[in-house]
Structure 1
Amino acid sequence: MVLSPQDIHNKEFSTKLRGYNIDEVNDFLDKIIKDYQIVLQENKDLSSKLDESNDKLSYFNDLKDSLNQSILVAQEAADKVKTNSKKEAEITNREAQKKADDILNAANEKGNNILEEASKRAKKLAIETDDLRKNTRVFRQRLQVMLESQLEVIKGSDWDHLVEETPTTTYEDIEKVVGSLDNTANTGVESGTKQNNDADLVADATTTDDLDKTVVYYPDDAK
């Protein structure tokens, strides 16, 4: 049992012959009581501080555990965010690659269609140009035949007889000669036309299924 200052103060000693001086003993006990009170107060203060320190230590330990837990949660959250960001980046990259491939494929397809259409138009233009050249050659041949026939008619003896200055030439004779010359000219043209019958088939051929094809028409021979 711990003695209190009051216990020391109330302590009474028995007296004997040749014992201690009572006043000195009491004075010394008073000093002991004061010092003991001081020590008890310090001990109390230290105990109080120790309790406070223990409370703070417990608080900081709890805070430490909470911070560690928070750090773990934050680390897990950061890992999740990193993983999700990586997945989203991969998804975005795949989608962007897919869109780029789609755009490239569409552009290639469109380019191929344009090239194919241009090739078709070029072939069509070449065919039309070739047809135009054939028709032009046919027209030239027909014109040449017609002009040669007319030239043969002009060089004929009937014209010489017509232009001769003879007193016997009458209007009826001139009309008869002109009529025979016309018949000769028509015969020459028809002959030239028969010679170019195959060329006429090429010149007069038109396609009804292709409205964009160039068609060349030539005038009739004797009109």
Structure 2
Amino acid sequence: MRITPLDIQQKQFKVKLRGFDMEEVYSFLELVREELEELLKENSMLKEKVAILENQLEEYRKIEQSIRDTLMTAQKLVEDYQTNARKEAELIIKEAELKAENIIKEAQEKVVKIHEDIVDLKGIRRHFKEEIRRLIEGHMRMLEFDKEREGEEGEV
């Protein structure tokens, strides 16, 4: 059963002989309610941030897949250019051979460029994941600190 700030605010205690100071009890309950409410808001905010970051990560994955598809297309184009270059070389001799070499060179430069782009995007993704991990760890430390602080306040 989860306790809500409203549960804390509405909690009633029976009065007994030599019981607690009711004003002090209600004052403490109000403090606990406020802290719980703040933690719930912060938790909600963190969940929203995680959802946003997950959406961004999905977008990066889509971009990565698009680049992979482009690479496959470029590799297929290279193969097609090579096949066409061989046929033309048989028909046109030296001139066709020079054109085929230029086409292959351009296609290979495109493949190298696409490979470089993939490596760059993987680095960005790795950096992004590390930033997310640091953010989550930072928030976890804050939550642990709050928990410890609540524990210390409970002991006082």
TM class by shorter chain equals 0.5 to 0.7
Q: Which residue of 1 aligns with 2:20?
A: 20
State the alpha-carbon separation in 2 of the partners of residues 46 and 2 from structure 1. 19
State the alpha-carbon separation in 1 of the partners of residues 9 and 95 from structure 2. 94
State the alpha-carbon separation in 1 of the partners of residues 30 and 78 from structure 2. 69
Report the Cα offset of residue 78 of structure 1: 2.1
Report the Cα offset of residue 89 of structure 1: 2.3
Check if 1:55 corresponds to 2:55.
yes
**Letter matched to residue 92 of structure 2:** T
Q: 1:95 to 1:55 in 2, by over 3 A?
A: closer
Query: Identity of aligned pairs, percent?
Result: 32
State the alpha-carbon separation in 1 of the partners of residues 25 and 62 from structure 2. 54
Structure 1: runs of 5+ lacking an equivalent:
97-223
Between structure 1 and structure 2, the one with the greater Rg is 1
State the alpha-carbon separation in 1 of the partners of residues 90 and 69 from structure 2. 31
In the TM superposition, what are the counterparts of 1:150-169 in structure 2 within 5 Å?
none
Q: 1:59 to 1:87 in 2, by over 3 A?
A: same
After TM superposition, the score normalised by the length of structure 1 is 0.40
Q: Which residue of 1 aligns with 2:46?
A: 46
SS at match of 1:15: coil
State the alpha-carbon separation in 2 of the partners of residues 67 and 20 from structure 1. 68
Indicate the RMSD between aligned Cα atoms, in angstroms.
2.1
Q: Which residue of 2 aligns with 1:154?
A: none
State the alpha-carbon separation in 2 of the partners of residues 58 and 17 from structure 1. 62
How many residues align structurally? 96
**Letter matched to residue 22 of structure 2:** I
Q: Which residue of 2 aligns with 1:71?
A: 71
Q: Which residue of 2 aligns with 1:84?
A: 84
Q: Which runs of 4+ in 1 moved over 2 A?
A: none
Report the Cα offset of residue 27 of structure 1: 0.9
Q: 1:53 to 1:94 in 2, by over 3 A?
A: closer
State the alpha-carbon separation in 2 of the partners of residues 31 and 90 from structure 1. 88
Report the Cα offset of residue 26 of structure 1: 0.9
Q: 1:95 to 1:51 in 2, by over 3 A?
A: closer
In the TM superposition, what are the counterparts of 1:139-218 in structure 2 within 5 Å?
none
Q: Which residue of 2 aligns with 1:187?
A: none
State the alpha-carbon separation in 2 of the partners of residues 2 and 76 from structure 1. 58
After TM superposition, the score normalised by the length of structure 2 is 0.55
Report the Cα offset of residue 87 of structure 1: 2.4
Structure with bigger helix share is: 2
1:164-190 alpha-carbon deviations (Å, 9 max, x no partner): xxxxxxxxxxxxxxxxxxxxxxxxxxx
State the alpha-carbon separation in 2 of the partners of residues 56 and 37 from structure 1. 29
SS at match of 2:93: helix
Q: Which residue of 1 aligns with 2:3?
A: 3
